[in-house]
Amino acid sequence: GAVVSQHPSRVICKSGTSVKIECRSLDFQATTMFWYRQFPKQSLMLMATSNEGSKATYEQGVEKDKFLINHASLTLSTLTVTSAHPEDSSFYICSASEQGAEGNQPQHFGDGTRLSIL
Amino acid sequence: AQSVTQPDIHITVSEGASLELRCNYSYGATPYLFWYVQSPGQGLQLLLKYFSGDTLVQGIKGFEAEFKRSQSSFNLRKPSVHWSDAAEYFCAVGARGYSTLTFGKGTMLLVSP
């Protein structure tokens, strides 16, 4: 159980292109979804937290207009990197969590998206 | 603010030997604690979690971790390492009632023959 599917797994595109990454919870309802960015050999950097039906909460230093997050349903969140540039190249990982009896439940992670901007 | 320290950037262990990965946290109340494993180019898989109760927690793949409040630690252990355990391991802490996690910088485990 608790499977999170992230798509696509790899994207290579030209500078200036907008790229959409999808994150789906396949067998549970994700009340909260998270988007992370991971640089090589480093830990995960939380970009934003989104709750279904409401606006995402962005971490300090993350541009809202650059990284558009939509969490329209309890099983789907999307991250759109708008007008991507080479410095946006990175590994993006989503995770999802469902509200449980103890107040919070573990995050379950997708397999990540390797974004390469040429 | 909560924080997590994983003192070892990388560790090399012989196959069949025991393993202990260190994790120290800083948090004002009783935390929720997690260990995740990441294989190259992939997302994170939950190994185990501590919410309350027994301080020795059993996880998947033969891993266990012990919560020691007095030492603010949550070290991950495995009695006999397999080559397939080579990966990066992340310790994370969360606050009760909130799903947001703070991750350590990770420890890369290398397994030698």
- Measured in degrees and rounded to the nearest 5, phi and psi for residue B97 equal 90, -10
The stretch A26-38 carries a mean pLDDT of 91
What is the predicted pLDDT for the residue at B30? 77
Residues of B in contact with A46 (CB under 8 A): 100-101
pLDDT of B1 reads: 76
Residue B31 preceded by cis peptide, ω within 30: no
Assign A104 a pLDDT band (cuts: 50, 70, 90). Answer: low
Q: Whose CA is closest to A22, among A112, A117, A118?
A: A112
The pLDDT of residue A101 is above 60: no
pLDDT (tens digit per residue) in B3-18: 999 999 999 999 999 9
User: Which DSSP symbol is given to B33?
Assistant: E
Tokens of A54: 């409401």
* pLDDT reported for residue B97: 66
Looking at residue B29, what is its pLDDT? 78
Measure the CA–CA gap between A104 and B35, rounded to whole angstroms.
Answer: 16
Tell me, yes or no, if B70 comes closer than 8 A to chain A by beta carbon: no
Which residues of chain B are modeled with pLDDT < 70?
97-98
Q: How confident is the model at residue A42 (pLDDT cuts 50, 70, 90)?
A: confident
Q: A26 with A5: CB under 8 angstroms?
A: yes
| B-chain residue closest to A102, CA distance | B97
% pLDDT > 70, chain A: 94
- As given in the structure block, the two tokens for residue B80 are 């006999």
- Which amino acid, B89? Y
Residues on A contacting B at a C-beta cutoff of 8 Å:
4, 6, 32, 34, 41-44, 46, 49, 91, 93, 95, 97, 102-112, 114
**All residues at 6 or more sequence positions from B108 whose CB lies less than 8 Å from its CB, including other chains:** A41, B9, B10, B11, B87, B88, B89
Contact with chain A for residue B35, Cβ under 8 A: no
Taking the mean position of all CA atoms in its chain, how far away is CA A53?
A: 16
Cα angle A16, A19, A20 (rounded to 5 degrees) comes to 160
B44 Cβ under 8 Å from any chain A Cβ: yes
pLDDT in tens, A55-79: 899 999 999 999 999 988 889 999 9
Residue from the list B51, B96, B99 with its beta carbon closest to the beta carbon of A107: B99
Task: State whether B103 and A107 contact (CB < 8 Å).
Answer: no
| Per-residue confidence (pLDDT) for residue A105, from 0 to 100 | 74
Is A51 a residue whose pLDDT tops 90? no
If you average pLDDT over residues A18-32, what whole number do you get? 92
